[in-house]
Amino acid sequence: MGARAVPPPPLFVRRFLHVVWPVVGVVVTALALPVIVLGAFLVIVDRRARLFRAATLAVILMWVDIRMLLTCWVLWAKSPDGSSPTWREDHERLFSQALDSLMYYARRWVGLDPEQERMAEAIAQTGQPPALARHLARRGVAPEDAATFLAPKLRDLLPQLREALKDLPAAIRYLASKAK
């Protein structure tokens, strides 16, 4: 049973929520403010600032939703009957911007990154512990390179070393000439 199986609420409920939602946002923000301040002070105890980050993220995500609602109102005011030739593109762009904002804040405040999660799962399937797999994924280590990254051998590093040292004789000659 997907989201399409759930019918939308009746029209009068939707109209009521459209008007009330920004007010609810202000009230929830006012109620969350002491929790956010408390979470900021608890950073001394909880280095990961879980309470602060969770409360702040909840408020931010709510305001991203309210911003999307208000922008929908502006689009509706421009074309109440939806006859504008760019009506669909405007709404798609609005929805895309809201999703981009949600992902930006989720990454910034919680560390949520779906691509990193997929990479961590792939690294864990190579036999690495999940915590180490997440760490390697954050560092950008590919699953096929995890074993080499964790137990490097000099012969694996030599091609990079040779490339880095190819101009060494010229550098030594230059330094010797300047030292005279």
Angle between the 114-124 and 130-138 helix axes, to the nearest 10 degrees? 130
The pLDDT assigned to 42 comes to: 86
pLDDT above 60 (res 1): no
Please state the rounded mean pLDDT for residues 102-106.
Answer: 85
> Model confidence at 158, in pLDDT bands (50, 70, 90)?
low
pLDDT above 80 (res 155): no
The pLDDT assigned to 160 comes to: 66
Please state the rounded mean pLDDT for residues 58-86.
Answer: 89
Out of 3-7, 113-117, 134-138, the most confident range is: 134-138
CA angle 13–16–17, rounded 5-degree value: 85
What pTM does this model have?
0.59
- Asked whether 69 and 18 are in contact (CB, 8 A), the reply is yes
The pLDDT assigned to 153 comes to: 79
The pLDDT assigned to 157 comes to: 65
Q: Which residues contact 47 (CB under 8 A, 6 or more apart)?
A: none
Lowest mean pLDDT among 7-16, 52-61, 166-175: 166-175
Q: What is the pLDDT of residues 4-54, one digit of tens each?
A: 677 878 989 988 988 999 999 999 999 999 999 998 888 888 777 788 888
pLDDT above 70 (res 3): no
